[in-house]
């Protein structure tokens, strides 16, 4: 029976006994700043080359728009409200995943597959997210393991050499770059995106393998969600320079894989944890915050390359994908709601129906209690702002950024803000936001409450609520009710509406 299933998997997915490794490349706050996604200004030759060898995802989404929760979701296949990593990893406030959660690193480790993490970790506890080989901010300064692409290259080389020396040889390696994350409020001498760090400028040190690319601020094409101001343009130009470091780092890592003779046995995935640290992006469930770049390069014959898939895809799909690549099953399959992406590598679904992805956010920093839940189909998005009676909170490194400080100063001085929102509308949101993304891709016109959208709202609401029930969301009754346990063993929670 097992042999029959295995042979069937080989036929369906083009697998072979040699296909035994996974390399996951993760950007930090990276968006679509690359040629592969039609950015005509930024220069990303290595990411573009990877895209040409990969299946390119045009509808990939984070399940949460916050660093640690997103990394936990990627590694567990569970949304933040289910795995327990509600906000930025913080031992003082116990922002950790639940101790009984199974991460992909522990599942693979127990199966005898060597696991490694190089770069930013920022999740906990250690017993849930344990890797055989770790070179992270827990052992080294974060810039050295996340931005120093020469050091990253050497760590990758060390990991691959050790993997080749063990009998099994199979590995899962996650290279988690720290670029293009902001760093201005911590080390302002390096620039708001650490774009000067390691650049060879006087006092900045030198990263031997990095050749910085600089951009002219007034020639950049601004995305719609960034205000057209000089501070914002300077900000974006600095971010683009760090994109060059990320891009060249990706090239170095892939070259190490090739030099080790393991490229033909390795599934390569590239994505980012969440959207850029700009207004309406990171920490938001608008598309700039949760829409992500994603490529998957398969070494197998027949796999799609330099093609695009429009299938709705979530970060929650990565764990099922990796498990299927290794021909493994999850120890608790009902706990994950994602699906393997391997079939997409060979054919586009003929009739995907009204497919959807889901998002869940509760915190970012400890003071940013603003739980949101969302469902997105190809055409519609419904966002539930549970804490809508309070203003939307702003995270600290974006708050002190040139872009946001300019928005604040212009608003205070009653000067025009060349932006698609106002500061007041950004801070104060309705409980429900419903958007027709076909007619309104910038999510500017909230259609909630319109009689013509009643049926659409009810359909989306039910699908979202069903997913929250399935994933045991403790916020699923809020803000109009409380979650009440009933039954002898308190295992059948129900919503008790306030006032009843």
Determine contact, residues 482/495, Cβ cutoff 8 Å. Answer: yes
* Number of residues that this document lists for the chain: 500
3-state secondary structure of 360: strand
Measured distance CA(443)–CA(446) in Å, rounded: 7
- Is-contact 345 298, C-beta < 8 A? yes
Residues 6+ apart with CB under 8 A from 421: 279, 280, 444
φ/ψ (deg, to 5) at 238: -65, -40
483 has which bridge partners? 495
Residues 6+ apart with CB under 8 A from 74: 24, 26, 271, 273, 315, 318, 319
Residues identified as active-site: 67
- Return d(Cα 404, Cα 117) in angstroms, integer: 33
Question: Among residues 147, 212, 198, which one has the least CA distance to residue 176?
Answer: 147
Q: What is the DSSP letter of 42?
A: S
- Coil, strand or helix: which one is 90? strand
Distance CA 396, CA 342 (A): 39
Is the separation of the CB atoms in 50 and 270 below 8 Å? yes
Beta strands across the sheet bearing 307-309:
133-136, 114-119, 171-176, 21-27, 266-272, 294-297, 55-57, 307-309
Residues 6+ apart with CB under 8 A from 165: none
Give the number of other CB atoms < 10 A from CB of residue 130: 14
Max Cα–Cα distance, the chain, nearest Å: 73
Q: Residue 348 corresponds to which tokens in the numbers above?
A: 């586009």
d(CA 70, CA 74): 6
Q: Could you give the CA distance from residue 138 to residue 136 in angstroms, rounded to a whole number?
A: 5
| Distance (Å, whole) CA 366 – CA 357 | 26
User: In angstroms, rounded to a whole number, what is the distance separating the alpha carbons of residues 201 and 206?
Assistant: 8
Residue 37 DSSP label? G
């Amino acid at each position: 029976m097992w042999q029959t299933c295995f042979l069937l998997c080989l036929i369906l997915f083009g697998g072979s006994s040699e296909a035994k490794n996974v390399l996951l490349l993760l950007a930090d706050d990276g968006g679509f700043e690359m040629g592969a996604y039609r950015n005509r200004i930024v220069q990303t030759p290595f990411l573009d080359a990877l895209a040409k060898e990969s299946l390119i995802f045009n509808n990939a989404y984070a399940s949460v728009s916050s660093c640690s929760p997103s990394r936990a979701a990627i590694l567990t296949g569970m949304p933040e409200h289910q795995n327990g990593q509600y906000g930025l990893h913080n031992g003082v406030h116990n922002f950790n995943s639940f101790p009984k959660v199974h991460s992909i690193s522990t599942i693979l480790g127990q199966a005898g597959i060597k696991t490694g993490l190089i770069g930013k970790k920022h999740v906990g506890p250690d017993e849930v997210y344990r890797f055989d080989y770790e070179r992270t901010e827990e052992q080294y300064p974060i810039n050295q393991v996340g931005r120093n692409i020469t050091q990253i290259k050497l760590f990758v080389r060390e990991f691959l050499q050790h993997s080749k020396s063990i009998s099994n040889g199979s590995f899962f390696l996650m290279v988690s770059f720290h670029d293009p994350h902001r760093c201005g409020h911590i080390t302002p001498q390096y620039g708001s995106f650490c774009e000067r760090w390691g650049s060879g400028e006087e006092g900045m040190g030198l990263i031997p393998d990095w050749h910085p690319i600089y951009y002219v601020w007034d020639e950049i094409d601004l995305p719609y969600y960034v205000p057209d101001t000089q501070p914002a343009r300077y900000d974006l130009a600095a971010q683009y320079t760090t994109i060059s470091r990320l891009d060249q780092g990706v090239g170095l890592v892939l070259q190490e894989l090739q030099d080790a003779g393991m490229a033909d046995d390795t599934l390569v995935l590239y994505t980012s944890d969440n959207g850029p640290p700009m207004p309406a992006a990171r920490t938001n469930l608008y598309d700039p915050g949760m829409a992500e770049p994603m490529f998957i390069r398969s070494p197998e014959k027949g796999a799609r390359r330099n093609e695009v898939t429009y299938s709705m895809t979530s970060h929650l799909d990565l764990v099922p994908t990796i498990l299927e690549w290794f021909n493994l099953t999850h120890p608790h399959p009902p706990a994950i709601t994602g699906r393997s992406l391997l079939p997409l590598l060979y054919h586009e679904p003929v009739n995907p129906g009204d497919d959807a992805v889901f998002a869940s956010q509760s915190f970012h920093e400890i003071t940013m209690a603003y739980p949101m839940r969302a469902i997105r189909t190809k055409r519609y998005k419904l966002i539930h702002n549970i804490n809508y009676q309070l203003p939307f909170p702003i995270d600290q490194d974006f708050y002190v950024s040139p872009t946001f400080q300019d928005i604040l100063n212009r608003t205070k001085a009653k000067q025009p803000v060349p932006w698609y929102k106002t500061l007041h509308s950004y801070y104060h949101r309705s409980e429900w936001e419903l958007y027709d993304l076909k007619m309104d891709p910038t999510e500017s016109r909230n259609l909630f409450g319109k009689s013509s959208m009643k049926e659409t709202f009810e359909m989306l609401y039910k699908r979202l609520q069903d997913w929250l029930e399935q994933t045991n969301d403790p916020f699923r009754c809020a803000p109009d009710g409380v979650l009440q346990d009933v039954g002898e063993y308190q295992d059948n929670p129900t919503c008790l509406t306030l006032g009843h």
